[in-house]
Amino acid sequence: MAEALGLAKSSTNRVRHHAERLELDTSHFRGKRKWSDQELRTAVAEEDSWAGVNRRLGLVDSYESRVKIKGHAIRLGLDVSHLSQRAYAPPSPKPLFREAPDPKRLRIAAEPIAVAWFTMHGMSVAVPSEPREYDVLVTFPDGIKRVQIKSTTSRASDGKWQVGIGRRPYSLDKSARKVPYDPDLLDYFLVINGMGDIYLLPVGALAGRTGIVLDSYPEYKVGSTASLFAPSP
């Protein structure tokens, strides 16, 4: 088609885009294949085995050929239930995400979100192999920093986010009162609130505290992952 329009062969993607925009039928196109989409549709509908489909399309029947043909048929949304033990449906991820994001899961998700955020900003991240005061080691432009990751879904009566930044002493007593982190053992707190806002707070700004009102530190807000908290469309 590109050659017929006087275009270079490298214009194939542009031509395909315009054909799709105009809703033109290109199922008879073969490209580098020996068969077209329409020929595959006919073969799948009229044959009773993948071997038969391969023969119908003039292909040598092999495992590799069956996998290729099967994948193409599934992408076209063809009914292959009479050819396979497994029934395939056109791919649609939406049913997987009917349940809205649950802020209660933020405590578990906070560390992976933080690792992804640092990584996307070009900072290498390492996770310690045993418990430490920090959750991750991050290579900042000025060296490796120790970062403790916190999250909060708790708001005060005025709507401001509250977050605990203390720790319990190393003991089996989970009811032990929390104490501040030793500022010599940390460099930053990364905090994610229930709206997906990300704060990166230097330990020097919070030293000696076990809890803060996050909204009091707007200068340390560095990003947001709000889309993770939005319901699927």
Distance CA 147, CA 201 (A): 10
In order along its 233 residues, the chain shows pLDDT tens digits of 656 666 666 566 666 666 667 666 655 555 567 788 899 999 999 998 888 898 999 888 888 888 888 888 888 888 888 886 555 555 566 666 777 888 889 999 999 999 999 999 999 999 999 889 999 999 999 999 999 999 999 999 999 999 999 988 765 566 778 899 999 999 999 999 999 999 999 999 998 999 999 999 999 999 999 988 887 76
Is residue 54 a contact partner of residue 69, using CB atoms and an 8 Å limit?
yes
DSSP E strands: which ranges in 104-187? 125-126, 136-140, 143-152, 154-155, 161-164
One domain for residues 108 and 65: no
One domain for residues 74 and 163: no
One domain for residues 76 and 166: no
pLDDT of 33 reads 72
Q: What are phi and psi of 222, to 5 degrees?
A: -120, -5
**3-state class of 102 per DSSP?**
coil
Q: Which domain holds residue 72?
A: 9-94
One domain for residues 114 and 203: yes
One domain for residues 125 and 204: yes
One domain for residues 14 and 86: yes
Q: How many structural domains does the chain have?
A: 2
One domain for residues 118 and 205: yes
177 lies in a domain? yes
One domain for residues 15 and 76: yes
One domain for residues 108 and 222: yes
pLDDT of 163 reads 96
One domain for residues 81 and 163: no
1 lies in a domain? no
pLDDT of 10 reads 59
pLDDT of 80 reads 87
Residue at a domain's end among 64, 94, 124: 94
Distance CA 223, CA 225 (A): 7
196 lies in a domain? yes
pLDDT of 66 reads 87
Residue at a domain's end among 63, 94, 125: 94
Q: Tens of pLDDT along 65-103?
A: 888 888 888 888 888 888 865 555 555 666 667 778 888
One domain for residues 221 and 150: yes
Distances (CA, A) of 83 to 57, 125, 194, 233: 15, 47, 48, 34
34 lies in a domain? yes
pLDDT of 72 reads 87
- Say which CATH number the domain at 194 has: 3.40.1350.10
138 lies in a domain? yes
212 lies in a domain? yes
One domain for residues 63 and 141: no
